[in-house]
Amino acid sequence: MRILGIESSCDDTAAAVVVDGRHILSNIISSQLKEHAPFGGVVPEIAARKHVESIGEVIEKALTDAGLNYNQIDAIGVTARHGLLRSIVVGAAAGKALSLSLNVPLVGIHHIEGHIYSNILEHGDSIRFPHLCLTVSGGHTLLLLVHALDHYELLGRALDDAAGEVYDKIARYLDLGFPGGPIIDKLALEGNSTALDLPRPMLHDPGYDFSFSGLKTAVIRQIEKLQRAGTPIPLADVAASFQQAVVDVLIGRILRAATVYNLSTVTVCGGVAANRGLRSALAKLAESHSIEAFYPPLPLCTDNGAMIAGLAYHKIMSGAVSDLRLDAQANAPLGISGVIYK
Amino acid sequence: MKHLIVDTSTRQNWIALFEDDRMCGCLHFEDKQSCLINLTPGIRHLLDNAGWHIQQINRCSTVIGPGAWSSLRIGLATVKLLCMTNQIALTTLTSSQIIAGYAELMGVTSPTLLTALDAGGGKVYSAVFVWHQEGYQLVGADSWEVPRATALRAVDLTDLTIIGDGAQLLAPYKQAGWQFICQQPQADSRYLRYIAQSTLKYGQITYEHEAVISLKPLYVQPSSAEIEFKVQVT
Ligand SMILES: Nc1ncnc2c1ncn2[C@@H]1O[C@H](COP(=O)(O)OP(=O)(O)OP(=O)(O)O)[C@@H](O)[C@H]1O
Ligand SMILES: [Fe+2]
């Protein structure tokens, strides 16, 4: 079954064609970075305007790259839940029009479920259930127990800023550019991760929640101290020390949950899953604790249409098809157990 | 010719089907939240009732604004994909052209017509039309500016009708020979015929495949973030 997936929940306009939930024929992402960079963050109205301009081209390109024409598409998957409402509606409208035109089923997908699926899309049956999934992105830091596709249990979440958000805020504070994640990640390669003494918030607290805003404040305080002393800011050291603190907390939480729930499969997804520090720490954890750890390839970490198309296949197989009245929701519970994560 | 008309530029969303001059179906919904929910099912409903298939449509017409931002985008994303997948030519009209159409329906025949939309923030969105044989034709480009600037540009126009919800903003600058129709024209399905006919008669801007793909709505103004940002920079 060839499914066209459409994703427009934030600032990337994306479309992809995936066969049977596993084989990616195309994966097109039109980034709006240039438009939002001057503002140091995503501006919803600008994002929505750009989506409507790009959506046609992105969908056409996804088909061309897949070597298909419209009539060879068997179903449409589209992000309908979670994100910026005025952005989601553009992709959702396009998906509905395609479903009507091609007379094929339409499936509305929850964006976060799409991220969770990105590892299954890539690694298939190697991902066993139940498994532990850390969804770590610009908007979220969630630790989930995944019982089955569509069945999630929330173990922990960010009580304030999400991990990706803190990367972005620190980068903005240091005038490094947007988004901050990849920039800080790169800088960290050259730095000394013990140069700054930073806290590991909540690492030893009971439960599995996260809090990164204190870490952000601690970083900013140390920078201010250096500025007052007239010392040039050692950007690479700041980046490496900050990144190490984030990674320590994320890995610490994963290890505790995996131990308590006796889980040997761990997945990490979302934009921050692209982080080199996190990926290598995860590999080390896997080796030292006989855990199988998975993360998606880079193009599947940040927002993409392939994860939406891939998950749509399973929804269709289980009969969860939407009708043309499908609505968009900025926030929606996750899965059959209705996990509230915000 | 089978013709699909979609107008989501205001709080009243309209969909209609025409076979040449004959209206074969029409529906409208008002709830401002429901454009995404109702638009595609509405199109399907009309097509089913008429016994048509979307592939039989020869032309699509839509209003590209200025207007309600989100529903304009929903409308345009929808018609874009319908046109792209079925190789349908897409004709676009601006909200100014729609208001000129209302003026015609109301029997206005003054040699010049100025359509005025209240663009918010004390500004007026306007366009000038001249009466030409059977109806109003747009002359020059639309503009978005303070009312005084619009009035100054119109100062030489005598026998002028100013129509739209922005007309009241121009009232303080009234000249001899200017008539005002200050209310936003009342929507009813007659204007759909205007859209269908104006497309046939005057051939508004029509886009074929490549050009349809990158079409965007007409916005009255930049987003507030852009405006604030420009203020910060300058
Ligand atoms: N290499 C990296 N290291 C750390 N963070 C990164 C890296 N690459 C991207 N990010 C971060 O990932 C985030 C974007 O991820 P993603 O696109 O999944 O988030 P989102 O879609 O905006 O949020 P959500 O999925 O929660 O709605 C940004 O905050 C960005 O800084
Ligand atoms: Fe995302």
Report how many domains make up chain B.
2
Give the H or E element holding residue B126: strand B123-132
Alpha-carbon span A24 to A18, nearest angstrom: 4
Token pair in block for residue A305: 């249409």
Token pair in block for residue B193: 């015929």
Q: What is the pLDDT of residue B223?
A: 66
Alpha-carbon span A23 to A120, nearest angstrom: 11
Residues in chain B closer than 8 A to A38 (CB atoms): 229
Q: What is the pLDDT of residue A39?
A: 86
pLDDT in tens, B61-107: 999 999 888 999 999 999 999 999 999 999 999 999 989 988 988 89
Cross-chain residue pair B39–A52, CB shorter than 8 Å: no
Residues in chain A closer than 8 A to B54 (CB atoms): 100-101
Are B59 and B142 in the same domain?
no
Confidence band of B229 (pLDDT split at 50, 70, 90): low
Are B79 and B15 in the same domain?
yes
Q: What is the pLDDT of residue A147?
A: 98
Alpha-carbon span A34 to B215, nearest angstrom: 20
Residue A323 lies in a domain: no
Cross-chain residue pair A325–B39, CB shorter than 8 Å: no
Alpha-carbon span B223 to B53, nearest angstrom: 38
Are A9 and A91 in the same domain?
yes
Residue A170 lies in a domain: yes
Alpha-carbon span A273 to A123, nearest angstrom: 15
Are B211 and B166 in the same domain?
no
The alpha carbon of residue B81 is apart from the nearest alpha carbon of chain A, in Å, by 6
Are B70 and B112 in the same domain?
no
Are A254 and A146 in the same domain?
yes
Peptide bond into A201 cis (omega under 30): no
CATH assignment of the domain containing B21: 3.30.420.40
Residues 6+ apart with CB under 8 A from A156: A142, A143, A207, A208, A209, A210, A253, A257
Check if A265 contacts B (Cβ < 8 Å): no
Q: What is the pLDDT of residue B225?
A: 64
Alpha-carbon span A129 to A142, nearest angstrom: 18
Q: What is the pLDDT of residue A206?
A: 94
C-beta of residue A43 within 8 angstroms of C-beta of residue A55: no
Q: What is the pLDDT of residue B234?
A: 42
Report the residue of A9, A79, A99, A325 to disrupt the B interface, i.e. the one with the largest count of B CBs within 10 Å: A325
pLDDT mean across residues, chain A: 97
Q: Which residue lies with its CA nearest to atom 24 of ligand 1? A: A139
Are B49 and B70 in the same domain?
yes
Q: DSSP 3-state assignment of B159?
A: coil
pLDDT in tens, A286-314: 999 999 999 999 999 999 999 999 999 99
Q: What is the pLDDT of residue B224?
A: 65
List B179's β-bridge partners, or say none. B161
Residue A322 lies in a domain: no
Cross-chain residue pair A57–B213, CB shorter than 8 Å: yes
C-beta of residue A82 within 8 angstroms of C-beta of residue A138: no
**A15 vs A59, A305, A313, B95, CA distance in Å?**
6, 4, 15, 31
Residue A48 lies in a domain: yes
Report the residue of A52, A84, A99 to disrupt the B interface, i.e. the one with the largest count of B CBs within 10 Å: A52
Alpha-carbon span A10 to A29, nearest angstrom: 12
Report the length, in residues, of chain B.
234
Check if B224 contacts A (Cβ < 8 Å): yes
Residues in chain B closer than 8 A to A56 (CB atoms): 80-81, 84, 212-215
Position B16 pLDDT exceeds 90: yes
Confidence band of B232 (pLDDT split at 50, 70, 90): low
What protein residues have CB closer than 5 angstroms to ion ligand 2? Answer: A 137, 303
Are B222 and B139 in the same domain?
no
DSSP H stretches of helix in B51-131: 69-86, 95-105
Alpha-carbon span A172 to A179, nearest angstrom: 8
Find the residue in B nearest to A325 (Cα). B37
C-beta of residue A150 within 8 angstroms of C-beta of residue A335: yes
Residue A266 lies in a domain: yes
The alpha carbon of residue B121 is apart from the nearest alpha carbon of chain A, in Å, by 17
- Three-state SS string over chain A comes to CEEEEEECCCCEEEEEEEECCCEEEEEEEEECHHHHHHHCCCCHHHHHHHHHHHHHHHHHHHHHHHCCCHHHCCEEEEEEECCCHHHHHHHHHHHHHHHHHHCCCEEEEEHHHHHHHHHHHHHHHHCCCCEEEEEECCCCEEEEEEEECCEEEEEEEECCCCHHHHHHHHHHHCCCCCCHHHHHHHHHCCCCCCCCCCCCCCCCCCCCCECCHHHHHHHHHHHHHHHHCCCCCCHHHHHHHHHHHHHHHHHHHHHHHHHHCCCCEEEEECHHHHCHHHHHHHHHHHHHHCCEEECCCHHHCCCCCHHHHHHHHHHHHCCCCECCCCCCECCCCECCCCECCC
C-beta of residue A135 within 8 angstroms of C-beta of residue A116: yes
Are A311 and A278 in the same domain?
no
Alpha-carbon span B28 to B7, nearest angstrom: 9
Are B207 and B177 in the same domain?
no
Q: What is the pLDDT of residue B10?
A: 87
pLDDT in tens, B120-159: 889 999 999 999 887 898 888 888 999 999 999 999 998 9
Residues in chain A closer than 8 A to B75 (CB atoms): 93
CATH assignment of the domain containing A76: 3.30.420.40
Q: What is the pLDDT of residue B228?
A: 63
Ligand 1: residues with CB < 6 A are A 10, 83, 111, 115, 137-140, 164-165, 167-168, 179-182, 185, 270-272, 274-275, 302-303
Find the residue in A nearest to B41 (Cα). A324
Check if B231 contacts A (Cβ < 8 Å): no
Give the H or E element holding residue B154: none
Residues 6+ apart with CB under 8 A from A130: A145, A146, A147, A148, A261, A263
Q: How far is the CA of A210 from the centre of ligand 2 (A)?
A: 18
Confidence band of B220 (pLDDT split at 50, 70, 90): confident
Are B65 and B21 in the same domain?
yes
Q: What is the pLDDT of residue B189?
A: 80
Find the residue in A nearest to B228 (Cα). A39
Residues in chain A closer than 8 A to B223 (CB atoms): 43, 45-46, 49
- Determine the structural domain holding residue A244 and report its residue range: 128-298
Check if B77 contacts A (Cβ < 8 Å): yes
Q: Which residues of chain A have pLDDT under 50?
A: none
Q: Which residue lies with its CA nearest to atom 20 of ligand 1? A: A138
Give the H or E element holding residue B12: none
Alpha-carbon span B126 to B118, nearest angstrom: 9
- Determine the structural domain holding residue B120 and report its residue range: 96-181
**B216 vs B62, B65, B74, CA distance in Å?**
12, 10, 11
pLDDT in tens, B160-210: 999 999 999 999 999 999 999 987 666 678 888 888 887 766 657 888 888
Alpha-carbon span B117 to A33, nearest angstrom: 33
Residue whose tokens read 């994100």 = A83
Report how many domains make up chain A.
2
